[in-house]
Copies of this chain bind each other. A is one copy, B any other.
Amino acid sequence: MPQYHAKVFVTLKPSILDPQGRTVERALAHLGQPVSGVRVGKYIELQLSGERHEVETRLQDMAVNVLSNPVMEDVRWELEETREVAGA
């Protein structure tokens, strides 16, 4: 059965304030490293196996319903096949 490596990116929606990002921004400014628009999100890696179409459906479901809060967060993912298990 094909094996996949998934990368899931969870970010706060643009309209939601990000106090953690503001804190990082201020800390960097105090260190003489001016940056703007800092947003802190989550980056989740996981492995799953199955046929590609089915894996994509499952991953979308997990991403929206478990790994993120659709009220406050956006989520996107990337999927890459890692190996085919012999004899599957």
Give the B-binding residues of A (Cβ under 8 A): 6, 9-11, 21, 24-25, 27-28, 31, 33-48, 58, 61-62, 66-67
Contact = CB atoms under 8 A, between A and B. Distances in A.
Contact of A24 (B11, B38, B67): B67
Q: What's the dominant secondary structure at chain A's contact region? A: strand
27 contacts: A6-B35, A9-B43, A10-B43, A11-B43, A21-B44, A24-B46, A24-B67, A27-B66, A28-B62, A28-B66, A33-B58, A35-B46, A35-B47, A35-B48, A36-B48, A37-B47, A38-B45, A38-B46, A39-B44, A39-B46, A40-B42, A41-B42, A41-B43, A41-B44, A41-B45, A42-B43, A43-B43
